[in-house]
A and B are shown apart, each in its own frame.
Chain A
Amino acid sequence: MSIIVAIAALGGLTLVLSIMLIIANKKLYVYEDPRIEIVEDMLPHANCGACGYPGCRPFAEALVHQKSLPGKCTVSTDEGRESIAKFLGVALGTEEKQVARLACAGGTNVALNRAQYIGIQSCQAATLVSGGGKGCFWGCLGHGDCEVVCDFDAIIMNEHGLPIVVNEKCTACGDCVEACPKDLFSLQPISHRLWVACKNLEHGNAVLEDCEVGCTACGKCDMDAPDDLITMINNLPVINYAENHNTQKPIQRCPTGAIVWLEDNGKVVKGKESRKIIRKGIKSMGNS
């Protein structure tokens, strides 16, 4: 008798519960596209955000729903992007490679310090103490926040305390752009060869006192450049990349070499008339 009672009690209980679960399963069913999982596995799992989505999973969802294209992922290899495009049957949608570029060339060998900063070795911290120790208020502080924040080892601080971007490794994720308290980094298509490596808003000797490679706002590049390619705004040349910018003319007469031509191999070409920098050591107040 007790066996029947036990079986009936448990059977009834589980029957009620399973009916409840069946109804809930019908009501709360979520269809999940199985392709999302597969595409996510094909992505590099860097979660860098260069594609414009918060991570690889949301990007995979956008790809499956055809809101984005595989080419937007700058971290994947070419084969990786192609296999995703083939898998989903969509266009590859290649984008021109972008890289982070620094708008400053004031290493320790050319730029003066007006104060010695002692404290946490971080640009974010240094900039809180009246803008850091550098003579030029706009210049790179050289504590390497960008090097730390870069997930791809694409930024290396050189011997003069300037970050050098390795174009091959840079994925244009934009982390360094956010990390720099002086706003010196920006993402540029790699075909933009003409580059103003200065953000100093002063002009003339006021610039030269602080930095040998700063832009003095002489305006020679503006005069030499064809048409509307360069305009002087706030004592700095601004390049209009919508114009044909494939010319080395503007850099030739620059007296300080603030406007430069960037070669593919990372070489920086300065104009013929720009002042040569021979000093290897740290520039001090005495030897300017």
Chain B
Amino acid sequence: MNTESLGTIFLNAVLVNNFVLAYFLGICPFLGVSGKIETASKMGSAVTFVMLISSMCAYGIHAFLVAIDAPYLQLISYIVVIASTVQLVEMFIKKMSPALFRSLGIFLPLITTNCAILGVALFQTNKGYGFLESVIYALGAGVGFTLALLLISGLREKLNFAEVPNVSKGTALTLFLAGILSLCFMGFAGLGA
């Protein structure tokens, strides 16, 4: 079992081992929907929600699979759970906010294969977290993901008004920013476990 306190787990997931900037998981929405702060924050909350649900389900499924002695079904079960949660979120957003649905576009169904989400489920299993710890870990990962998305979208919004050399406009510039942000987050390394 794990001996970390809940606070440590949370901070660890948000800052020290930020999923995007330290583990480089979930890069595709990080680059794809980080053009505007508003869209980025909504994307962040959608991903956080999916992480929370799939983490809870993953905990239950893991216990169940261990009980029936079939842990080799872990990966496929996780993927099925994540895919159906994303489908649910997609329906919900389409119903509640068609405008947001259009602005998230292809990146909404792409959460299905977002490695950050599968990462949360696998990490929590490997680290042997209990239910509460898993939920806190997933919440931390989601907040960390949203934080990274907000940081880069804020920078990109500002840079819209800056004079940027033509060669580095667009994707290249976003990748520069991602690198610099990652460099900053390296400063947190070694704070926790």
B114 within 8 A of A: no
A9 CA / B71 CA spacing, docked (Å): 11
| A24, B88: Cβ atoms closer than 8 Å | yes
Asked if residues A30 and B94 are in contact (CB atoms below 8 Å), the reply is yes
Sample of 5 A–B contacts (CB below 8 Å): A5-B69, A9-B70, A13-B80, A24-B87, A24-B91
A57–chain B nearest beta-carbon distance, Å: 8
B87 partner, pick from A6, A13, A21, beta carbons under 8 A: A21
From 37 to 90 in chain B, residues with beta carbon under 8 angstroms from any chain A beta carbon are 61, 64-65, 68-70, 72-73, 76-77, 80-81, 84, 87-88
Residue of A nearest to B81 (CB): A17
Contacts of A10 in B (CB 8 A): 73, 76-77, 80
Centre residue among A2, A14, A28 by max chain B CB count within 10 A: A28
Q: Which of A34-61 contact B (CB under 8 A)?
A: 57
Chain A 1-20 interface mask (CB, 8 Å, partner B; 1/0): 01001100110011001101
What's the least CB distance linking B63 to chain A, in Å? Answer: 12
Chain A residue numbers with a CB within 8 Å of B64 are 9
Which residue from A6, A28, A30 sits with its C-beta under 8 Å from B73?
A6
Interface residue A116 (Cβ < 8 Å from any Cβ of B): no
Question: Does B61 contact A25, Cβ atoms closer than 8 Å?
Answer: no
For A25, the chain B residues whose CB sits under 8 A away are: 91
A-B contacts counted at CB < 8 A amount to 46
B95 contacts the other chain (CB 8 A): yes
Instruction: Specify which chain A residues have a CB less than 8 angstroms from the CB of B24 in the assembled complex.
Output: none
Interface band, chain B:
20 to 34
What is the bound-complex CA distance between A20 and B80, given in angstroms? 13
A21-B87, A28-B91, A28-B95 known; A2+B80 contact, CB < 8 A: no
Is residue B92 contacting chain A, with contact meaning CB distance below 8 A? yes
Which A residues lie within 8 Å of B72 (CB)? 6
For chain A, the count of residues having a C-beta within 8 Å of the partner chain is 17
**Chain A residues proximal to chain B, CB less than 8 Å:** 2, 5-6, 9-10, 13-14, 17-18, 20-21, 24-25, 28-30, 57
Chain A residues positioned under 8 Å from B84 (CB to CB): 17-18, 20-21
Q: Which residues of B contact A (CB under 8 A)?
A: 61, 64-65, 68-70, 72-73, 76-77, 80-81, 84, 87-88, 91-92, 94-95, 98, 102
Complex Cα gap A29–B90 (Å): 11
- Taking CB as reference atom, which chain B residue is nearest A17? B84
Contacts of A20 in B (CB 8 A): 84, 88
Closest 4 CB pairs of A and B: A17-B84, A28-B91, A28-B95, A30-B95
Indicate if the CB atoms of A5 and B70 lie closer than 8 Å: yes
- Interchain CA distance A28-B61 in the complex, whole Å: 27
- What residues of chain B lie closer than 8 Å to A24, measured between beta carbons? 87-88, 91-92
Whether B77 lies near A13 (C-beta < 8 A) is yes
Q: Which of B65, B87, B95 contacts A9 (CB 8 A)?
A: B65
Is the beta-carbon distance between B68 and A5 smaller than 8 angstroms?
yes
A30 CB to closest chain B CB, in angstroms?
A: 5
Please state if A28 and B68 are interface contacts (CB–CB under 8 Å).
no
- Tell me if B68 and A17 are in contact (CB < 8 A): no
Q: Are A28 and B80 in contact (CB under 8 A)?
A: no
Q: Would you call B91 and A2 a contact (CB within 8 A)?
A: no
Known A-B contacts: A2-B70, A24-B92, A25-B91. Give 8 more (CB < 8 A).
A6-B70, A9-B73, A9-B77, A10-B73, A10-B77, A14-B80, A24-B88, A57-B102
A244 CB → nearest B CB, Å? 47
CB neighbours (8 Å) of B68 from chain A are: 5, 9
Bound: A30/B97 CA distance, A: 11
| Complex Cα gap A2–B71 (Å) | 11
- A36: min CB distance to chain B, Å: 10
B94, A28: Cβ atoms closer than 8 Å: yes
Q: Which residue of A lies closest to B87 (CB)?
A: A21
When the two chains form the complex, which single residue of A2, A13, A21, A30 contacts B61, counting CB atoms closer than 8 Å?
Answer: A13
Residues of B within 8 A of A9 (CB): 64-65, 68, 70, 73, 77
CB distance from B96 to the nearest CB of A (A): 9
A21 to B76 alpha-carbon distance, docked (Å): 18
Q: Is the CB of B92 within 8 A of A28?
A: yes
| Complex Cα–Cα for A9 and B77 (A) | 9
Smallest CB separation, A3 vs chain B (Å):
10
